[in-house]
Structure 1
Amino acid sequence: MSGALDRTRLLAARYRAAQDRPYLATALFSLTVVESPHVATMGVDRRWRCHVSPAFVARTPVPQLAAVWIHEVAHLLRDHHGRADRLPAGATPDHLRINVAQDCEINDDLLADRLPLPADRVEPATYGLPAGLLFEQYLTLLPPEVRARSDCGCGAHGAERPWERDGAGGVSPAEAEAIRRDTARQILGRGDVPAGWRRWAGRTLEPRVDWRRQLSGAVREALAWAGGAVDYTYARPSRRSAALRGVVLPRLRRPVPRVAIVVDTSGSMGEPELAAALAEVAGVLRVVGVGGNRTTVLSCDAAVHVARAVYTVGEVRLSGGGGTDMRVGVAEALKYRPQVVIVLTDGLTPWPDTPPESARLIAALIGPAAPRPPDWITTVAVDGPVSGR
């Protein structure tokens, strides 16, 4: 028997954490305590409820308990569960491995802040990794056999545990976002806050870009550039010909641009994000009058598998799942002589060395940690800024 939860000890630790780091006080006191025999230490769920092991509280000194309080609330402030939900399908091997990557993101900052974390904590140095990265980056760098030693709950890795489904109360998503932004403002208003927390606060409060509007603007600008070219045609003679007997004047024609969409279908791409971005591009093309055989969609990983003209998104056929090389897709797309090439990708790909002479290239980068392509490529971050560090 582990005995009853020593709430006095637990809440004294939270009070100490809030006293020592007052910029975290609002977030810390927003957590609801839930006594639980199912957790080994402490863990949080999406509703900001903190599930606590009585045995862990009994054996842990108050200074360490205060550090664990800060660790758990950091998962929620950094929106780890929301970011885990947005990971590409191929980047989610299991929730406990994600938990390790998230602990690496948090604990390097807490150790730099000289917090007395338990001796069995994980940090980037545990795996020979550099400090200061996002968990999405650590997830790709961790050794393949790594699994979590403890479970910080669905408020961290996003996978709901059975004991988290019961009970009421907690914090709504809207309230959680308000707490994050209030905490970020308090951090940026102080001069004694560690660099890791200041980086997080800056990202949290920076203006959010509506990626749909940004993508729409980029596509429209490229189409306007392509449509600016004019040519002469005798198919519809100029109306001025009537004034010149025996002379047929050509009419100026503004051609409708041809568009090629290269869809990255490598194993690291997630279907929901891909479908959303593809639907947005299709909507823009429809509004500006580009459709039918003017739009070619190419399905590409390290090779082009499908290339076809489509009238609607429903006609798109995606195939792949291997490695990634969008240079192959762009080169194939240019064979269709488009004026605009749009690449939907997570950015984990090599790019052409030089811009094509006859087309504008737009990269719609899907995912929170997508690397940037060369500067000459028009770039849109589909997921926008991450609530990271």
Structure 2
Amino acid sequence: MPPSELPSVAGVFSRRQCLKTAESIATVQESTGAIPWFTGGHTDPWDHVESAMALSVAGLYDEAVAAYRWSASTQNADGSWPRQFRSGVVESADIDVNFCAYLAVGVWHHLLRSGDLDFARELWPSVRAGLDFVVALQLPRGVIPWTLGTDEALVTGNSSMYQSLGCGLALAERLGDPQPLWASARHRLGAALRDDPGACTPKDRYSMDWYYPILGGALRGPAAHARIDASWSRFVVGNIGIRCVSDRPWVTGAETCELVLALDAMGEHSRAGSLFAAMQHLREQDGSYWTGLVFADGKRWPEERTTWTGAAVVLAADALSRATPANGIFRDLLPDAVPVTSR
């Protein structure tokens, strides 16, 4: 592909660096298409999709297609996925409900980036089964439990599922297969995230709980700005990134880049660009990224360069640079204006 189609951020992240980061992810990819956290590590269905999205951004379509086909091939009959795989074997058969929705984001993103409608049709049955599984679990208050056998719902997972439903609806519209139950479920979920804070168990020590309602698209406008400003000083650390946990001296690259994406979606381009530049100290020469830094003692921790951290960097660079047709995957969501209907 022409180099001009690759993301770049002036003075911070070049097109060549973008490609190198995507290639560092592809190097870890297994022959089955699975993308583990690192070579020899485990694969989970959510981070696997995020890594595949980065491959698509960089134009590594064959590798991205293999990743999405792996997702389809490992799906359970009920539309769910096991939580964790290692070297082709299910390591944990437990179900994380949010993991079962995220394929919709990846497939919609790949279609936006590549224009490959035939491949979207191929993956559509898996996307549809995953979202049907998720929607069937929705609770009366509109939120969705984080796992089977519980009524406990979490802000981060529900915010991600809100985005997944939006991408699934966009894909359904493009493929001519309307899903009105998804639209109703998304509307109810968005209302719960905005107006019913007690519907989810608070995890406000974690930065993800802070910015995910914005990243997933449920919160925009003045409420989003107020939310970000309220906890900025708790999580943002000078010029090195953001904390994963508010009371720990640890900044992490993926969370920093996800906040970049949330800020970009809000129109906060200056703060987004500054944070993107701030986390580049985690980059290695091969294009991979360390997961985090304990700034109290200057040590990398954990001692892993994770595929999903590199993926978050690539996705943030695409959003900031508006380089590919998929750059708005976290910004340009369907409006949430569907009336509540009985189910």
TM-score, normalisation: structure 2: 0.23
Higher share in strand: 1
Higher-RCO chain (CA-CA 8 Å, sequence separation at least 6): 2
Higher share in helix: 2
TM-score, normalisation: structure 1: 0.21
